[in-house]
């Protein structure tokens, strides 16, 4: 029996995408196990009792949760196509920005999407305050990781497929040409990569999903304004 790799995920989870992209870049065969989060399987709850979330990577029966932790595990287990920088300082920097992405950028961008009125205005200011760091990090580089896609690009992958969905649904532009020329170029380069392209979530499905999600956050009268 060879390696057995399973990924518990949903079709849209940005955190799960990081994991499957990493496996694909390294050419590691794996099995997708799609979860319905409204009715989590007993297997998912068994493998991730603490957070009860996707993604979960199960390698030869041993489970791991938390996408950034999983990415480090994938890197250390399958050494081909390295995704992390070799230099410890560059690695620390990449880890820093990945956590910044999850702790600050993602919540602030999501805030812009679901909030309204004055709260949204404030969320937009916060989001720009965070996004500017991404623009700066791309200076002189094609990808966050340099010439090729790496760990930090995978960590920021949600920027490439979700932000424009949020922008379309809400009729606003967050990542504009004037402020974010490098980030926009990165989004295009990232999307154009053959491996990324192959498992790109369908845009129309994302729009439907997030429109429905929005409906659950705000009262119906406000949604129809």
Partner 1 sequence: MAKSEVKLLGAWPSPFVMRARIALNIKAVEYEFVLETLEPKSPLLLQSNPVYKKIPVLIHADKPICESLIIVQYIDEVWTSAPSILPSDPYDRAIQRFWAAYVDDKLFPTMRGLLTTQGEEARKAVLDQLAEGLALLEEAFGKCSKGKAFFGGDRIGLLDIAFGCMLGWLRATEKISGLKLLHEANTPGLLKWADTFCADAAVKGVMPETEKLVEFSKVIVARMRGAHPPK
Contacts with partner 1 by CB under 8 A lie at 50, 59, 62, 64-66, 68-70, 72-73, 76-77, 88-89, 91-93, 95-96, 99-100, 133
SS3 62: strand
Q: How far is CA 211 from CA 43, 62, 204, 220, in A?
A: 30, 36, 11, 12
Kindly tell me which of 44 and 64 has the beta carbon lying closer to partner 1: 64
Kindly tell me which of 16 and 165 has the beta carbon lying closer to partner 1: 16
> Measured between alpha carbons, how far is 33 from 13 in angstroms, rounded to an integer?
13
Kindly tell me which of 69 and 222 has the beta carbon lying closer to partner 1: 69
Least Å from the CB of residue 50 to partner 1: 6
Enter the DSSP assignment of 37.
T
Kindly tell me which of 18 and 59 has the beta carbon lying closer to partner 1: 59
Q: How far is CA 122 from CA 115, 128, 189, in A?
A: 9, 10, 30
Least Å from the CB of residue 169 to partner 1: 29
Least Å from the CB of residue 63 to partner 1: 10
Least Å from the CB of residue 73 to partner 1: 4
CB atoms closer than 10 angstroms to residue 220: 7
Least Å from the CB of residue 55 to partner 1: 13
Q: Give the residue among 113, 118, 131 at the shortest CA–CA distance from 209.
A: 113
* C-beta of residue 173 within 8 angstroms of C-beta of residue 120: no
End-to-end CA distance of the chain: 59
Kindly tell me which of 20 and 68 has the beta carbon lying closer to partner 1: 68
Kindly tell me which of 13 and 161 has the beta carbon lying closer to partner 1: 13
Least Å from the CB of residue 38 to partner 1: 23
Tokens of 101: 């992405």
């Amino acid at each position: 029996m060879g390696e057995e790799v399973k990924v518990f995920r949903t079709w849209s989870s940005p955190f799960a995408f990081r994991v499957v992209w990493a496996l694909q870049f390294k050419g590691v065969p794996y099995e997708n196990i799609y979860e319905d989060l409204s009715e989590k399987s007993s297997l998912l709850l068994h493998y991730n009792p603490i957070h009860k979330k996707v993604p979960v990577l199960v390698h030869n029966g041993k489970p791991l949760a938390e996408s950034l932790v999983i990415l480090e595990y994938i890197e250390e287990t399958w050494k081909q196509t390295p995704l992390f920088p070799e230099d410890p300082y560059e690695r620390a920097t990449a880890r820093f920005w990945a956590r910044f992405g999850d702790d600050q950028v993602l919540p602030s961008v999501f805030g812009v999407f679901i909030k309204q009125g004055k709260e949204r205005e404030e969320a937009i200011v916060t989001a720009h305050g965070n996004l500017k760091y991404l623009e700066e990090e791309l200076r002189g580089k094609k990808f966050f990781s340099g010439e090729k896609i790496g760990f930090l690009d995978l960590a920021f992958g949600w920027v490439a497929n979700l932000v424009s969905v949020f922008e379309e649904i809400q009729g606003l532009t967050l990542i504009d040409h004037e402020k974010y020329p490098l980030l926009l170029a990165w989004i295009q380069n990232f999307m154009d990569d053959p491996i990324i392209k192959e498992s790109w979530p369908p845009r129309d499905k994302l729009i439907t999903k997030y429109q429905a999600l929005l409906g659950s956050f705000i009262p119906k009268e406000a949604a129809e304004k």
